[in-house]
Amino acid sequence: MIELHPETILKLEFGYAQETIEQAQEDRVKIMEFYLLLTGALGSVALGLMQLEAGRIPNIALLDTTLGASGRMPPQVYAAIFGLVGVIGFFVLMQLIRLRQAVNDSIVTMNLIKQTYVERFPDLDKAFHWKMDTIPPMAKPWSITFGLSLLVILLDSIALGVGVFFLGFQPAFWQYADEVLVSLLAFCWQGWMYFYLLRNKGDITSTAGRQ
């Protein structure tokens, strides 16, 4: 008969959970680097186009082109650039949330294994600082994930507001009302999504099975 050793599968499970956490941390860094580079690149493109237009002399020969006789890029182009930054930012936020869920799932797994050993060897309880009842909330304010998510939310909310600005809406009561409203709505909605998706449900297995 094959001898089964519980400590072997527990060791493998603990190691897998640890590797999952490390991979999630690496993925978080890569995602943020990608978004910041992309935001900087698109912002540079928009700024470069504005500088080119500032020095361009109107020309009747451009009448039938996209630029038109004024030699100006249609504002919809800038709106699309900043809108793209905003939309991509939302998907980056969703990825950060998913990575935080994966880390929490692995932390729960590791602590369940430690709890199993503590039940078998009570003296080990003093050796563990992190336990099931000391796991920090997933949406804990001022954590690294919180800070990075807040940065993404700020950037994409502002980008969406700037995109609306280039669409040229002119409310009667305040010139920048639409831009501020869109930015605030985007910020509040994404903030609510962050805390809602990372809420604690009071069940240690609430994150299990999410892939």
What count of Cα atoms within 13 Å lies in the side-chain half-sphere of residue 190?
30
User: Considering the entire predicted model, what is its pTM?
Assistant: 0.80
Which pair of tokens denotes residue 32? 């943020």
Q: Please give the Cα distance from 203 to 181 (Å, whole number).
A: 37
pLDDT (0 to 100) of residue 136: 87
pLDDT (0 to 100) of residue 207: 39
Fill in the DSSP letter of residue 176.
T
Q: Please give the Cα distance from 130 to 100 (Å, whole number).
A: 17
pLDDT (0 to 100) of residue 4: 61
* pLDDT tens per residue across all 211 residues of the chain: 566 677 788 888 889 999 999 999 999 999 999 999 999 998 888 888 777 766 554 554 444 454 444 456 778 888 999 999 999 999 999 999 999 999 999 999 999 988 888 888 888 888 888 888 888 899 889 899 999 999 999 999 999 999 998 887 766 566 778 889 999 999 999 999 999 999 876 444 443 333 3
pLDDT (0 to 100) of residue 208: 38
Cite the DSSP H helix spans in the chain. Answer: 6-54, 75-120, 144-167, 177-197
| Of the candidates 145, 135, 136, 143, the residue with the CA atom closest to the CA atom of residue 94 | 145
Q: Please give the Cα distance from 10 to 115 (Å, whole number).
A: 12
Task: Please state, in angstroms and as integers, the Cα–Cα distance from residue 151 to each residue in 2, 92, 129, 191, following that order.
Answer: 54, 11, 31, 11
